[in-house]
Amino acid sequence: MKFFIDGADIQEIESLAMMGLVDGVTTNPSIIAKSGRNIHKVIEEICDVVSGPVSAEVVSDDAEGMLREAGSLAKIAPNVTIKVPLTEEGLKACYRLRERDVMVNVTLCFSAAQALLAAKAGATFISPFVGRLDDIGHDGLGLIEEIVTIYENDPLITTEVLVASVRNPMHIVTAAQLGAHVATAPASVFRQMLNHPLTNAGLEKFKQDWQASGQTI
């Protein structure tokens, strides 16, 4: 499974990249707005650090507007992935961008039917939002299982399942078990995956025993 960082904090991205944990980055209008910075500068800065796909989202409602914005964003770096919403206009834009060989991440997916349409439109990635489904009492990871099964049954589909709206490490672990290709999550979730109290306790015991031995390396 590939790991994408969902965020725009360059220090966090660099820190996780030093462990080999960053295959790509996803952003959205909320993340960019929260940064308080120009979207072009933020995406350029991330692309200087990350060689994998970096999602930058359009904000227009119509396909022509999306394509204009996509043209501006795609100029930033060759690894920019254009993020479009799972709407009729979004799929029109997706189809035309894929004709130009531009990577596209179709976002805000909440059903297997939507995921199938995105794949037919040529999406590079489909982003089902597991956490938001869980929030309203639906089975977010169940949706991942449905989409993975559908995609695996059709050898013509090359769209990768990018699990989004990840809230905790088990979302990632279970999604990996189900065969999802990518998980995108805030840096804090990946740090939760890294830490375990038994690891910390074991390391402390090793240190105490080593110090008591009086040896050096």
Q: What residues act catalytically?
A: 83
Q: Which residues, including other chains, have CB under 8 Å from residue 65's CB and lie 6 or more apart?
A: 58
Number of H helices, E strands in the chain: 11, 8
CA distance 184 to 110: 16
- Amino acid 216 reads T
Are the CB atoms for 35 and 42 separated by under 8 Å?
yes
DSSP 153-206: H-TT---EEEEBS--SHHHHHHHHHHT-SEEEE-HHHHHHHH--HHHHHHHHHH
**What is the amino acid identity at position 81?**
T
